[in-house]
Structure 1
């Protein structure tokens, strides 16, 4: 039999290689998990032979999507907790808590996902009703973004928290009488977390495997895991070792003494499909809970500029540590003041002729004078377009008509730096990347098709958002030599989509037909 032997030939396809030329090919040959060649149908079929061939039936093939900012662990914890997502009122939250208690028989209630903006109010709730329902069982209910929590008095007492308690970078909400309302914002949440039971590694692993299947069905083959504790390094490593975790995971370490020691001891850590060479640092909080650090006060809270969660000295020290230990620094920046501060700290820390690729995660509200600094200082913007359409209901009320012009400004950021790393920020937003595509291109949700998109001047093209989830995401994690495009020598990690990839509403539920990692099938819709 003529032709060079390979493990797999995929043909009769529309292959979007995402290479520098944006070439579109028809077939590819794969051996030992690597792409041997991509090219025209006849060329590949004449040159190679294989016992296994796949007729793609004219379907679209893309490099496996990478979610450049997701939270596997947070999503796993959410799956193991009371689900409060899409609750329409505080009363519905309370009803769900009661049902959860009666069904599960728990002596501690942890829930996640409430969002007061869905309740027809901008005001954060209080724990008055929660205390009546659960006077003797500790309750902790996290807001959708994880930057605020509603806790009952029982938990406050258990954690020895009083109205006089204080923590840098956090806020304990008080009513007009100086009494705790039960709302803890940002670093204040840490005061109760030591009292909250931890999930076992076995339970977390099971939940992550379930999440992995969900990601595979959307063609997501890699995740930039945005913040893990030291104890979770072994969890991920063991899942990889035992063959349970197949996703390419680029994990960012949280800033802690244990993680700093790990980085100094091991340097850049790689174990099969697990990579650790970056830190996730939080400069500020979130807009939804008014924790984002702003240059001027909030439009709807004149007394507040938000919170700086990490001190200037700590941010500077962290930047220097990362440079000295050849680690990447990825800093959460929402407010214009936080983003301006991080840009300057990065600039002061950078050494000439060194490829740092330090990132700002979210880069959500930017002072117009600071956009050019992303280019001048070579700072990588990492954005999540679904935030723009989720926040449009209330964002202008938070920051006003002028500042909103520099918010969710993906086109401007792209024009400055030349690349965007694009993710979903799941589970704060949904894992579906086609919702991300739609939000980036159309700047509106599926239910808003009759109205104009949210500041359409900041929309990006379909090609640009797809690059943000493939080759640019690979650049953002120093993996462009093996991932992000379908080219000779790179990993055969790709997805064959059921439908043509478009950003129209009817394609928001586009699913993978087949998903491959290093030439092996990890998801096959035909076998469901």
Structure 2
């Protein structure tokens, strides 16, 4: 091998450390000694070598044959590890993920007392913060049988306002100082699409559900652009380490769009972002003035979709149901918009040429969105835009075929099922559960499922999602046969959902989602063979390296592939 082709692992690591492009290595490059998998012409194919040049795939196949075909290629020794296309998360919240690196995390807390201890300790460590913000609480896991109260939060921190977002992002827990700062009293009316939790006398108890959260959000000091830059840098580094080379950001504001473009211009957007403009308000009017943005910065950033919000979440009983909750006969959840308003919003986005992606969890909301899409297609067209329903969690059985009839994509998050299985059937009962988390039913009728996580509501780790999709169990293997296992995906189906079908849902299947000639060389090396490991162990998969456009953007320092 010539000196020109002998790029060392140490040199690659150094270039990464100083932020220099790995593209300084000779071109083309052959990654060999791998157990590779990709979808090719829609079918699973294997290979032992991958060749790329100028950031694009030239060929996959037998490594020895590729060495003969490309004798001058620089060689990367994959050390016998498994090589996969970069995984795609079709639905996450990138800036929120980044912001949470500096906020209180209550994820995984087992009871209220443990949560109070974490909040108290965070407050003591951060005396300079005027507001304490955090996320991740779940009263179901705490076995409270109710929402927590302001008084219980006061017991942890009472000297300044505290706002903590529930794990699903659809409820906020406030202490007394925060209630006072927001001016919330017994006289405050519930806003449309929201609810203030109250005691028997009508006094606010400290929890705001769905659109009521805006009452406190309006008085919290806003993030600065420097805050956003730090959050995006943290989020992208985290996503790289998990093997995610592209994600859909479900709800981009004008301020976030500005930072995305800046990062793309500076070569710092090492995870590709498919942006969905948040709603059809002022940000949409400003951002859509020149039409959809496609492939900005060498396909690092696109903004060609709109995210609408139909209802809340099941855990906080904000998801809108056709009939009352099975465990709360007073409430049926909250529709965020009237039928007329939903139809108007869908038509507005379609007229401007944008894909429409609507958050819909309850069966009433899914029905409303299906009706709105059908009406819009008849009036203004837009069926070809690959419109999506985000989550599509609880669907009335007669509505399931309408997904296929209307060519709608189901953008679903497998870990929602394994997180919700401790309460979902209590919420909706044995009949409605038949149309809930119905992955296999949707796939059998030909509906495309785009896999995602809804991070940071769930972990962004795509192997957690693949595991949940295939097993429908938690990481301890419970329940033994899986929760409603008849709706589990096969591994090839799940793999497709997190690669080619996620790319299709973002109009990028011709450039992303598989390692076929002409597509971007976005790939990962992992520590086990995904298609030979026991399904129960899929979630344990570790990413060793992540490459985007032929440049290595992450390396696990504990285990490296070799480079000659």
Q: Is the structural similarity TM-score above 0.5?
A: yes
SS of equivalent residue, structure 1 residue 123? coil
Tell me what 2:254 maps to.
Answer: 230
Q: Which range is displaced more, 276-285 or 207-216?
A: 207-216
- TM-score under structure 1 length normalisation: 0.95
Within the alignment, does 1:509 sit opposite 2:540 as a pair? yes
Go from structure 1 to structure 2 and tell me whether the alpha carbon gap of 1:25 and 1:448 turns closer, same or farther (over 3 Å shift): closer
Aligned match for 1:29, one of 28, 51, 75:
51
Aligned match for 1:245, one of 269, 281, 294:
269
Task: Quote the Cα distance in structure 2 between the aligned partners of 1:348 and 1:257.
Answer: 21
SS of equivalent residue, structure 1 residue 100? helix
SS of equivalent residue, structure 2 residue 308? strand
Check the 8 A contact 2:105/2:135 in 1, yes or no.
yes
Q: Which range is displaced more, 204-213 or 146-155?
A: 204-213
Check the 8 A contact 1:9/1:49 in 2, yes or no.
no
Within the alignment, does 1:259 sit opposite 2:283 as a pair? yes
Alignment of 1:119-518 (within 5 A): 119-131=142-154, 134-164=157-187, 165-270=189-294, 271-272=296-297, 273-350=300-377, 354-449=383-478, 451-501=480-530, 502=533, 504-518=535-549
Check the 8 A contact 2:477/2:536 in 1, yes or no.
no
Tell me what 2:62 maps to.
Answer: 40
> How much has 1:23 moved relative to structure 2?
2.2
CA RMSD of aligned residues (A): 2.1
Check the 8 A contact 1:437/1:503 in 2, yes or no.
no
- Which runs of 5 or more structure 1 residues have no equivalent in the other structure? none
> How much has 1:353 moved relative to structure 2?
8.1
Which aligned segments of 4 or more residues in structure 1 are displaced greater than 6 angstroms?
A: none
Residue-by-residue CA offset, 1:58-77 (whole Å, 9 max, x unaligned): 33222100011111111122
- TM-score under structure 2 length normalisation: 0.89
Check the 8 A contact 1:442/1:456 in 2, yes or no.
yes
Tell me what 2:556 maps to.
Answer: 525
Tell me what 2:35 maps to.
Answer: 14
> How much has 1:256 moved relative to structure 2?
4.7
Go from structure 1 to structure 2 and tell me whether the alpha carbon gap of 1:353 and 1:209 turns closer, same or farther (over 3 Å shift): closer
SS of equivalent residue, structure 1 residue 118? coil
Q: Which range is displaced more, 423-432 or 346-355?
A: 346-355
Residue-by-residue CA offset, 1:343-368 (whole Å, 9 max, x unaligned): 11111112568512110011000111
Aligned pair count reads 527
Tell me what 1:108 maps to.
Answer: 131
Task: Quote the Cα distance in structure 2 between the aligned partners of 1:525 and 1:230.
Answer: 34
Residue-by-residue CA offset, 1:370-419 (whole Å, 9 max, x unaligned): 11001111110011111111111111111111111111111111122342
Task: Quote the Cα distance in structure 2 between the aligned partners of 1:88 and 1:513.
Answer: 32
Check the 8 A contact 2:464/2:538 in 1, yes or no.
no
Residue-by-residue CA offset, 1:252-275 (whole Å, 9 max, x unaligned): 111153322134312111421011
Go from structure 1 to structure 2 and tell me whether the alpha carbon gap of 1:396 and 1:240 turns closer, same or farther (over 3 Å shift): same
Check the 8 A contact 1:6/1:29 in 2, yes or no.
no
Q: Which range is displaced more, 455-464 or 349-358?
A: 349-358
Q: Which range is displaced more, 144-153 or 39-48?
A: 39-48
Task: Quote the Cα distance in structure 1 between the aligned partners of 2:93 and 2:534.
Answer: 24
Task: Quote the Cα distance in structure 1 between the aligned partners of 2:459 and 2:263.
Answer: 24
